[in-house]
Structure 1
Amino acid sequence: MRVVVDYTKCTGLGICESLAPAFFEVNDEGDLVLLKEEVGDAERQELEEAVAGCPTEALRLVD
């Protein structure tokens, strides 16, 4: 499983960063940086919360 970011929808609010800091970071310019793409089983719930918490629906998980 991996996480995918639609950068055309992302506004850099940083909710995903607060929920899954090992995966997401908002840089000094306000742009989202995907730190790692592959999601392990142990990290799945954390990523599902980040995807659900994204107000612009810019995140999704794919198999």
Structure 2
Amino acid sequence: MIEEYPIMSLENAPPEIKLAVDLIYLLECNDISPETALAALDIVRQDLQSKFKQLSQQSEEHS
């Protein structure tokens, strides 16, 4: 039996869903291999985590 899930309009979707859809579209339109995409996403994750850590430290210093 196939479960039915409500179809959510992208317009009403949370920002992270909108961004994920945009990224998937960008990767598919540019024929990026899954291996390359995952490697790039790892780099992006590391970069964002580093920036987040820096911002957290700065806000603690100013508190």
Q: Which has the higher contact order (CA 8 A, sep 6+)?
A: 1
Fold match (TM-score > 0.5): no
For Structure 1 versus Structure 2, the TM-score category normalised by the shorter chain is under 0.3
Q: Which has the larger share of helix?
A: 2
> What TM-score, normalized to structure 1?
0.27
> What TM-score, normalized to structure 2?
0.27
Q: Which has the larger share of strand?
A: 1
